[in-house]
């Protein structure tokens, strides 16, 4: 397992009890553009019943729920004319029609001194939705993630007994060997909880089984988990959600291997006096 590219996990159904239409009579029902950053579409939806607005926005933007270690994702709404675009922002909800007292489930709103509602909203509303192609993928079963790579490496200086010439003569000076490293950042978006309980025990351990990131399956012992970063945001209902970066470092040679100086063994496992390798192994699939 791992963080695997797959089908777009966006939704193509909007369900609103009070009904909705695209607001064509404003002359701005749908606006499309194609700037340098990629195509966009802006759609104005009219809801007949404004009490549907929060549920409608949730369906547009998608959301995540769950308690550790489970996360359940509902993908964002796809733009029907171009499903590669998904709803990434709702910049406004504009009231329309007769004023009525606002009704929000579980919230008691204050009244004036005569007992009248202070907070009023139109019986209908217009929801403006923006569709773009974000940097992250909403994968069907993997939630929202993006992958970024940064090339790195190390230059190992090996003793002169490690390499030899064709006639068997060892080199007179230490020989250098370049070992490729790759810094990999997997960013998880809209997580309903901070996964520190699962990430911290994995720090400075290597993968105990093949682990896929993107399209590539990394062999056992080739990925070192170096920690996580996070930032805080909110979901469509104002609940706290998290953006989390998982940091890995790939080594083209197993992290617990060094080049044996006997000239014939090549790369081999190194351990301490107790037989323990430099890095313990862990199950990276524990990362939510």
| Domain boundaries of the chain, sorted by first residue | 2-137, 143-286
C-alpha Rg value of the chain to the nearest Å: 27
Residue 78: CB partners within 8 Å, gap ≥ 6? 8, 10, 11, 12, 84, 85, 86, 87
Question: Residue 127: its pLDDT value, please?
Answer: 96
Q: DSSP for 29-40?
A: SEEEE--TT--E
3-state per-residue secondary structure call for 202-230: HCCEEECCCEEEECEEECCCCEEEEEEEE
- Contact of 45 with 127, CB cutoff 8 Å: yes
What pLDDT tens digit does each residue of the chain (288 aa) get? 678 877 666 788 899 999 999 988 766 799 999 988 899 999 999 999 998 999 999 999 988 888 888 888 888 999 999 988 999 999 999 998 898 888 777 778 888 888 888 888 889 999 999 999 988 876 655 678 889 999 888 888 888 888 888 988 888 888 888 888 999 999 999 899 999 999 999 999 999 999 999 889 999 999 999 999 999 998 888 889 999 999 999 999 999 999 888 888 989 999 998 999 999 999 999 998
pLDDT of residue 75: 86
- pTM of the model as a whole: 0.85
Cβ atoms of 100 and 109 closer than 8 Å: no
pLDDT value for 37? 85
pLDDT of residue 282: 97
**How distant, in Å, are the alpha carbons of 12, 82, 85, 235, 262 from that of 40?**
17, 10, 7, 22, 61
Q: For residue 47, give the nearest of 90, 76, 18 by alpha carbon.
A: 18
Spatial contact of 90 and 57, defined as CB atoms under 8 Å apart: yes
pLDDT of residue 85: 92
């Amino acid at each position: 397992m791992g963080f695997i590219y797959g089908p777009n996990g966006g939704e193509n159904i909007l369900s609103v009890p009070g009904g909705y239409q695209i607001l064509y009579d404003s002359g701005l029902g749908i606006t499309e553009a194609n700037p340098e950053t990629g195509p966009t579409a802006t759609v104005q939806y009219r809801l007949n019943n404004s009490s549907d607005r929060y549920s409608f926005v949730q369906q547009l933007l998608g959301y995540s729920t769950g308690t550790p270690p489970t996360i359940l994702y509902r993908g964002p709404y796809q733009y029907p004319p171009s499903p590669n675009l998904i709803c990434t922002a709702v910049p406004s909800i504009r009231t329309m029609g007769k004023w009525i007292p606002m009704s929000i489930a579980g919230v008691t709103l204050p009244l004036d001194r005569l007992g009248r509602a202070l907070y009023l909203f139109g019986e209908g509303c217009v929801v403006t939705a923006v569709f773009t192609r974000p940097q992250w993928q909403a994968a069907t079963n993997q939630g929202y993630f993006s992958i970024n790579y940064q090339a790195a490496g190390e230059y190992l200086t090996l003793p002169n007994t490690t390499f030899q010439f064709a006639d068997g003569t060892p080199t007179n000076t230490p020989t250098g060997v370049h070992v490729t490293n790759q810094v990999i950042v997997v960013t998880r978006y809209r997580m309903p909880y901070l996964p520190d309980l699962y990430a911290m025990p994995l720090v400075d351990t290597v993968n105990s089984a093949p682990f896929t990131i993107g399209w590539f399956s990394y062999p056992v012992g080739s990925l070192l988990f170096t920690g996580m970063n996070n930032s805080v945001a909110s979901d469509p209902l104002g609940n706290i959600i998290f953006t989390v970066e998982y940091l890995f470092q790939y080594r083209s040679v197993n992290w617990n291997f060094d080049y044996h100086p006997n000239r014939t063994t090549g790369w081999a496992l190194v351990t301490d006096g107790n037989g323990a390798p430099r890095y313990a192994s862990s199950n990276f699939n524990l990362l939510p």
